[in-house]
């Protein structure tokens, strides 16, 4: 769930830790506060309302297990929907990246660049290497018969070349393509379809809006009338029409949307807290059960939290093993083995049979040393 929070926050993932809190399960006066995970553990008290201590332990465990299973099921469903939306958006945005050979041209060309609705004439788009601009201008009219004189126009260019229009008769299309290829000019297969361009832009706007409204903490607002494509990795500069927005420039107007949270992030924060609190209850229950099994009845033990520096974890386990070796040499050897395999653990739980009596699992994580 923590990883999902990081994924959803995207550009603000550095602030993810601030959203991983344990709000609930503490005293009433603290419930309104934002409780970090360490503070929750060190001030832990058993939630009698949610997990009644008078119930059989197996019932308590079953309650927690069902709660976590439901959270996991919901998490998979919600993240699947989020990832589907994200993938669809990325697929559309990917079309607007790259060079003139691969990227979409919908945000570059305009209706005025083409001869439309003609029975005999058609406008083709040709990619010409930058070093061949002069050659193109001199030869395009003679590459085939029936090429309309002075019909070429440079409408966009990137680092590799330029995108030119040329108008000719439909019946010489194949011949023109063959001759263009021989001269290292590439005819880009593209037919202007105003309805398809409109559909593509509406789809992009819808996906961006869905992501903004449903998932992210803040998102770019689309300026009315602006292009919906992301900033391009390869700069493409449209030419000829001063009113046409330049591809490669910022296509969207960035406007502050505040810190409002979408439903998915809110759900993740709430249920991360629920899952963490449930997990700590399981830890407390485990300490209680293991301590009763080890030291017997009546209940007489005190659980302690130790928080060593990362570099001191192994040494701490060795010292504890040495101090309490007399209690159970087999268990002490096992603890040492666990310590070797868990040297990066920050929190160690120590149980001592000689400390004051505690009668229920609600106080098994009593104090921080």
The predicted pLDDT at position 330 comes to 66
Q: What is the mean pLDDT of residues 306-333?
A: 82
* Average pLDDT of the chain, as a whole number: 76
Tell me what percent of the residues of the chain surpass a pLDDT of 90: 34
What span, in angstroms and rounded, lies between the C-alpha atoms of 199 and 134? 37
Long-range pairs for 17-20 at CB < 8 Å and ≥24 separation? 19/265, 19/268, 19/269, 19/272, 20/269, 20/272, 20/276
What's the pTM?
Answer: 0.58
Which contiguous run of DSSP H or E holds residue 289?
A: helix 263-295
Give the tens place of pLDDT for each residue, 259-278: 457 788 889 999 999 999 99
Alpha carbon distance, N-terminus to C-terminus of the chain: 30
What torsion do the CA atoms of 293, 295, 301, 304 make, to the nearest 10 degrees? -70
pLDDT surpasses 70 at 248: no
Q: How confident is the model at residue 211 (pLDDT cuts 50, 70, 90)?
A: low
What span, in angstroms and rounded, lies between the C-alpha atoms of 170 and 217? 52
Q: What is the mean pLDDT of residues 128-137?
A: 94
């Amino acid at each position: 769930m923590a990883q999902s929070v990081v994924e959803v926050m995207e550009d603000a993932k550095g602030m993810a830790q601030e959203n991983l809190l344990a709000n609930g399960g503490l005293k009433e006066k603290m419930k309104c506060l934002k409780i970090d995970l360490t503070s929750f553990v060190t001030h832990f008290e058993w939630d009698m309302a949610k997990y009644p201590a008078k119930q059989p332990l197996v019932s308590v465990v079953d309650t927690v297990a069902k709660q976590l299973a439901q959270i996991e099921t919901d998490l998979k469903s919600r993240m699947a929907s989020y990832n589907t939306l994200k993938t669809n958006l990325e697929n559309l945005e990917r079309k607007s990246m790259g060079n003139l050979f691969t990227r979409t041209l919908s945000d570059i060309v305009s209706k005025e660049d083409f001869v439309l609705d003609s029975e005999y004439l058609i406008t083709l788009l040709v990619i010409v290497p930058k070093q061949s601009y002069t050659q193109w201008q001199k030869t395009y009219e003679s590459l085939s018969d029936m090429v309309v004189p002075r019909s070429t126009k440079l409408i966009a260019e990137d680092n590799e070349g330029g995108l030119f229009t040329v108008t000719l008769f439909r019946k010489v299309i194949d011949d023109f393509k063959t001759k263009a290829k021989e001269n290292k000019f590439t005819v880009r297969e593209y037919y202007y379809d105003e309805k398809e361009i409109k559909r593509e832009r509406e789809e992009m706007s819808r996906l961006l809006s869905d992501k903004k409204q449903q998932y992210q903490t803040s998102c770019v607002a689309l300026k009315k009338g602006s292009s919906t494509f992301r900033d391009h990795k390869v700069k493409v500069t449209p030419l000829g029409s001063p009113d046409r927005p330049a591809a490669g420039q910022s296509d969207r107007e960035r406007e502050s949307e505040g810190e409002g949270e979408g439903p998915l992030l809110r759900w993740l924060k709430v249920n991360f807290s629920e899952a963490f609190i449930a997990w700590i209850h399981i830890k407390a229950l485990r300490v209680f059960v293991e301590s009763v099994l080890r030291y017997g009845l009546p209940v007489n033990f005190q659980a302690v939290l130790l928080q060593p520096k990362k570099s001191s974890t192994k040494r701490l386990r060795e010292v504890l093993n040495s101090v309490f070796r007399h209690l159970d040499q087999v268990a002490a050897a096992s603890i040492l083995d666990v310590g070797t395999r868990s040297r990066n653990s920050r929190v160690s739980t120590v149980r001592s049979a000689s400390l004051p009596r505690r009668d229920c699992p609600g106080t098994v994580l009593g104090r921080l040393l």
